[in-house]
């Protein structure tokens, strides 16, 4: 679906089928579903509970495999990859942000951001430099040596965002990243997230129930009749 002028898609899905269970218990969540997300593009995923948002995020995050269809990240067909390569791709090319921060409680903010980089093979010194840059960019440099329990909800979530992008992934996936925050903190965190996506040219798919935040993204998609469709 490239008209020749648009940059190539970071995430491209086509003909995606996902059915849970078998026989009379079979439940089809996605059927011939398709979507492209390009560099620097923020896409909101807004759909009622049970529509398949987590399923879609799990497929895009290579945590589940589709039953049929093609899914490429950065042009690489992920269906053809073995589990080791999928794990590697998840670590390097994909960042995840969840509703709850899932930071490691015994590590401080900087260490939480440095850890995935070290796991990916970066030196500790370089990982700390990158962590400091991200803390600075997200306006929480003064909190670098605070543990998660010493941070506010908004600060925790900003550290979680920094951790998600620490390895400079191509694709950022978020599931209700501000769902646990009060409205004004939610706004702040959302602004930090969008700034980062635009500054780094990431592609982002963000599931949210917050229609106001969704409206501030580049476009909104939903899941209807097992397909991914645009919301105007
Ligand atoms: P959402 O995130 O939009 O609430 P989900 O993707 O979690 O939706 O679920 C879509 C549908 O698939 C729901 O009806 C859910 O019960 C079902 N489902 C999700 N995961 C499984 C699973 N592992 N086994 C069986 N059914 C599942």
In a domain, 16, yes or no: no
DSSP 203: E
In a domain, 114, yes or no: yes
**CA of 192 relative to ligand 1 center, distance in Å:** 30
Paired strand residues for 35: 13
Which protein residue's CA is at the shortest distance from atom 13 of ligand 1?
A: 50
In a domain, 202, yes or no: yes
Which protein residue's CA is at the shortest distance from atom 24 of ligand 1?
A: 20
| pLDDT classification of 173: cutoffs 50, 70, 90 | very high
Decide whether any atom of ligand 1 lies within 6 Å of the 101 Cβ. Answer: no
| Structural domain range at position 225 | 41-62+86-230
Which pTM was predicted?
Answer: 0.92
In a domain, 8, yes or no: no
In a domain, 71, yes or no: no
* Pocket test residue of 29, 46, 67, 176 for ligand 1, highest count of atoms within 8 A of CB: 29
H/E stretch holding 133 reads helix 124-137
> Would you say the C-alpha torsion 195, 197, 198, 201 has a positive or negative sign?
positive
H, E, C per residue of 45-92:
ECCCCCCCHHHHHHHHCCCCCCCEEEEEECCEEHHHCCHHHHHHHHHH
**CA of 101 relative to ligand 1 center, distance in Å:** 22
- The number of folded domains in the chain is 1
Strands 68-73 and 9-20: antiparallel
Residue 11 corresponds to which tokens in the numbers above?
């995430």
In a domain, 5, yes or no: no
In a domain, 11, yes or no: no
In a domain, 7, yes or no: no
CATH number, residue 200: 3.40.50.300
Q: What is the pLDDT of residue 197?
A: 87
Q: What is the pLDDT of residues 77-131, one digit of tens each?
A: 998 899 999 999 998 999 999 888 899 999 999 999 999 999 989 999 999 999 9
Decide whether any atom of ligand 1 lies within 6 Å of the 26 Cβ. Answer: no
* Pocket test residue of 27, 173, 207, 227 for ligand 1, highest count of atoms within 8 A of CB: 27
């Amino acid at each position: 679906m490239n008209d020749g002028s648009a940059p190539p898609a970071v995430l491209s899905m086509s003909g995606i089928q996902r059915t849970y269970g078998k026989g009379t218990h079979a439940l089809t969540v996605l059927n011939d579903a398709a979507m492209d997300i390009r560099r620097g593009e923020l896409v909101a995923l807004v759909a009622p509970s049970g529509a398949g948002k987590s399923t879609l995020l799990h497929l895009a995050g290579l945590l589940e495999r589709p039953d049929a269809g093609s899914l490429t990240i950065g042009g690489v067909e992920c269906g053809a990859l073995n589990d080791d390569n999928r794990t590697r791709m998840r670590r390097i090319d994909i960042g995840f942000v969840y509703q709850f921060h899932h930071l490691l409680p015994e590590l401080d903010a900087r260490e939480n951001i440095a850890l995935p980089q070290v796991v990916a093979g970066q030196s500790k010194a370089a990982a700390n430099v990158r962590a400091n840059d991200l803390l600075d960019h997200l306006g929480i440099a003064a909190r670098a040596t605070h543990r998660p329990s010493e941070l506010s909800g908004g600060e925790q979530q900003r550290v979680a965002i920094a951790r998600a992008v620490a390895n400079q992934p191509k694709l950022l996936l978020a599931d209700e990243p501000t769902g646990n925050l009060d409205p004004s903190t939610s706004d702040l965190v959302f602004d930090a997230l969008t700034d980062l996506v635009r500054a780094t040219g990431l592609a982002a798919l963000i599931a949210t129930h917050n229609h106001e935040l969704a409206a501030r993204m580049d476009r909104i998609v939903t899941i209807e009749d097992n397909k991914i469709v645009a919301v105007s």
